[in-house]
Structure 1
Amino acid sequence: MKLQDFILIALSSVGLISVAKALIKFFRWVWVMFFRPPKNLKEYGSWAVITGSTDGIGKALAFELAMKGINLVLVGRSPSKLEATSNEIREKYGENVGIKMIVTDFVKFSGEEISKTIEEGITGLDVGILINNAGMAYSGSMFFHEVDLDLMESLVKVNMDAATWVTRGVLPCMLKKKRGAIVNIGSGSSMAVSSFPLSTVYAASKAYLAMFSRCISLEYKQHGLDIQCQAPLFVATKMLRGFNTSSVFIPSSEMYSKASIRFIGYEPLCTPYWLHSVQWFMVQRVPDALMDRYMLQFFLKMRERRLKKSKLSNVKQ
């Protein structure tokens, strides 16, 4: 065999292998997103604990779990909002779904107090699922030095400390029966594909959730616990100022929650909504320097719009 023929065959083989790998990845993605059956969540336990359960994704997830006949422990800081959410769920699903409320303020309470409150609140319950959804974001794009000190402290407490201490409060219950699922709702910023300027503390706190989830997933997989961090991109919620209207790439809380439920118990780090996954695929093909430049300009424009609105508001007053 001539050298040229050998090189041609080798190159063709490499090309075929590359194409085959790409096709396998694509068909696996299609399977995961559209055809993989969701896990039977009742096998984890008859109760689910949800933080940040009175608005947005947390509330939508509460309704999804209630529809599946799973009892709910709703965690929040506002008794009136918890009561309102509880009444809405009961009106839709009747008395078939048990509901318990735990009032706690993640900003004001210490970590130990949060953990103790949760542990005492779920005593005697067959808790199989924990969803750490409570979160805070900036009121608008800001440079790091512009972030109010109280807001900065609240972001760290709600986005990082709360999930850590609530998990600490629920873990003993799950370890005792050797089964359970923990879902930490992170953010696309935690995927570390590109930077998130002018949202630094928020992005960094969500990145903590991704690493926290990955580590404890390895620690407790052998004990029957499935732990993951879900990293959605934009979802139309009150927290997402300027993007709180659903569109093709920005699902409503209800749309996202349906996708979220299907992923519980699977990958340690995932992006459940299929169009978010498509967005990530495209972002990963863009050079880092170009993506960083785009993200900086994007958030700078958001900051300019916020400042203009603020000036107009002050003039009217």
Structure 2
Amino acid sequence: MWWFVSMATIGALYAISGCFRLLRFLALFLRRPKDLRRRYGSWAVVTGPTSGLGRSMAMELARVGLNLVLVGRDPAKLQDVSGKIARCHGVQTRTVVFDLSLVSTPEGAEAMRRLREAIEGLDVGVLVNNAAVAKPGAMYFHEANVESLVRVVRVNLLALTEVTTAVLPGMVARGKGAVVNIGSGSSFVLPSFPLYSVYAATKRYVAVFSKNLHVEYKSKGIDVQCQAPGLVDTNMMSSAVKNSFSPLFVVTADACARAVVRRIGHGTLWVPNFAHQIQWWSAGFAPETILDVYRLGKHLQQREAFRMIRSSRPPAQEGKVY
């Protein structure tokens, strides 16, 4: 009898915990989007805005009335997206050429100086640290090129940190602001992300960094959050990866951007898209060992697909990224 009562008590506590999590989720989900311009300021800084989720984020922020400082490494693409934003939404834009993989180098220091000059005097209310790289991926750690791994760390971790140091002091001085760091479900929803170890580790840093900054700066009027989407159909995702998952769980960059912007200022860690939220909740009911085995199997399939692609491409395309 004591064993039955103990198990029933544990089960009841688990069920109550799940109910509280669901209620908290619904409370956040049902909140109305904030008027970002009125609540935080008239300008936003977006890194990696020339393609994929970053481009969609820039367009969505412009749609809700924010002027934009666009930070990316390709001058032509920056001008292209800047011109499109101005034509479609009539907001002001500034561009800063910054190869984030060069952060903490002399070239990176010069780019940081240009960024600080570009935002000086602006009412920057929102910072979106979006830029990230996932390659090399779908390979064992010992198979990866060390320089490529260092690039992942520089872009996903060091650059995010340094760009935040450039923007945050102005928010503190004005007593308002929102920092949105784009994380990944690979480091939050799932217990492991094998064969993408460095990428997942940098995204875990993003989540922990965001949570601690939120605690530090909430009393100063600044909201800091990590948005952790799942699979988004961007250039970062190769066809080999996309085809290995159900289309129901692969969302477009535009849909994800709308969900991210809608949730700015609501919660410290958020899975923005409903399809990804379903994955998050379902993953919570599976044992970690099963999820580990399943994910390793999926990524080994991707590894084999990448190997076939590399072996079949002509030598002239050796530098192409898939």
TM value normalised by structure 2: 0.87
Q: Which amino acid is 2:125 matched to?
A: G
1:168 offset after TM fit, Å? 0.2
Is the 1:50–1:74 contact (alpha carbons within 8 Å) kept by the matching residues of 2? yes
1:102 offset after TM fit, Å? 0.8
Is the 1:140–1:241 contact (alpha carbons within 8 Å) kept by the matching residues of 2? no
Match of 1:194 in 2: 191
CA distance in 1, matches of 2:293, 2:202: 22
1:27 offset after TM fit, Å? 4.6
Secondary structure of 2:102's match?
A: coil
Match of 2:153 in 1: 156
Structure 1 residue corresponding to 2:76, chosen from 66, 80, 95: 80
Q: Which amino acid is 2:35 matched to?
A: N
Structure 2 residue corresponding to 1:100, chosen from 91, 94, 101: 94
* Percentage of pairs with the same residue: 40
Secondary structure of 2:224's match?
A: strand
Q: Which amino acid is 2:48 matched to?
A: G
Q: Larger Rg: 1 or 2? A: 1
User: C-alpha offsets along residues 207-243 of structure 1, whole Å, 9 cap, x if unaligned?
Assistant: 1111111111111111111001111111000001124
Q: Establish whether residue 206 from structure 1 lines up as the match of residue 200 from structure 2.
A: no
User: C-alpha offsets along residues 50-104 of structure 1, whole Å, 9 cap, x if unaligned?
Assistant: 000111111111111111111000010111000000111122123xx01011111
CA distance in 1, matches of 2:49, 2:68: 10
CA distance in 2, matches of 1:316, 1:11: 63
1:20 offset after TM fit, Å? 6.4
User: C-alpha offsets along residues 12-40 of structure 1, whole Å, 9 cap, x if unaligned?
Assistant: 9998887666555435434433x310111
Secondary structure of 1:49's match?
A: strand
CA distance in 2, matches of 1:113, 1:315: 36
Secondary structure of 2:249's match?
A: coil
Q: How has the CA–CA distance of structure 1 residues 24 and 89 changed in structure 2, closer, same or farther, with 3 Å as cutoff?
A: same
Is the 1:62–1:72 contact (alpha carbons within 8 Å) kept by the matching residues of 2? yes
1:282 offset after TM fit, Å? 0.8
Secondary structure of 1:235's match?
A: strand
Match of 2:213 in 1: 216
Match of 1:226 in 2: 223
Q: How has the CA–CA distance of structure 1 residues 13 and 156 changed in structure 2, closer, same or farther, with 3 Å as cutoff?
A: closer
CA distance in 1, matches of 2:184, 2:274: 15
Is the 1:112–1:165 contact (alpha carbons within 8 Å) kept by the matching residues of 2? no
TM value normalised by structure 1: 0.89
**More deviation, 137-146/61-70:** 137-146
Q: Which amino acid is 1:79 matched to?
A: P
Structure 2 residue corresponding to 1:137, chosen from 118, 122, 134: 134
CA distance in 1, matches of 2:53, 2:70: 13
1:118 offset after TM fit, Å? 2.1
1:149 offset after TM fit, Å? 1.9
Q: How has the CA–CA distance of structure 1 residues 241 and 15 changed in structure 2, closer, same or farther, with 3 Å as cutoff?
A: closer
Is the 1:107–1:154 contact (alpha carbons within 8 Å) kept by the matching residues of 2? yes
Secondary structure of 2:79's match?
A: helix
Match of 1:41 in 2: 36
Secondary structure of 2:247's match?
A: coil
CA distance in 1, matches of 2:147, 2:15: 52
Computed over aligned residues only, the root mean square deviation of the Cα atoms, in angstroms, reads: 2.7
1:140 offset after TM fit, Å? 4.0
Q: Which runs of 5+ in 2 are unaligned?
A: 318-322
Q: How has the CA–CA distance of structure 1 residues 84 and 289 changed in structure 2, closer, same or farther, with 3 Å as cutoff?
A: same
Match of 2:144 in 1: 147
Q: How has the CA–CA distance of structure 1 residues 268 and 84 changed in structure 2, closer, same or farther, with 3 Å as cutoff?
A: same
Q: Which runs of 5+ in 1 are unaligned?
A: none
Q: Which amino acid is 1:64 matched to?
A: E
1:136 offset after TM fit, Å? 0.4
User: C-alpha offsets along residues 143-178 of structure 1, whole Å, 9 cap, x if unaligned?
Assistant: 111111221111111000110000000011101111
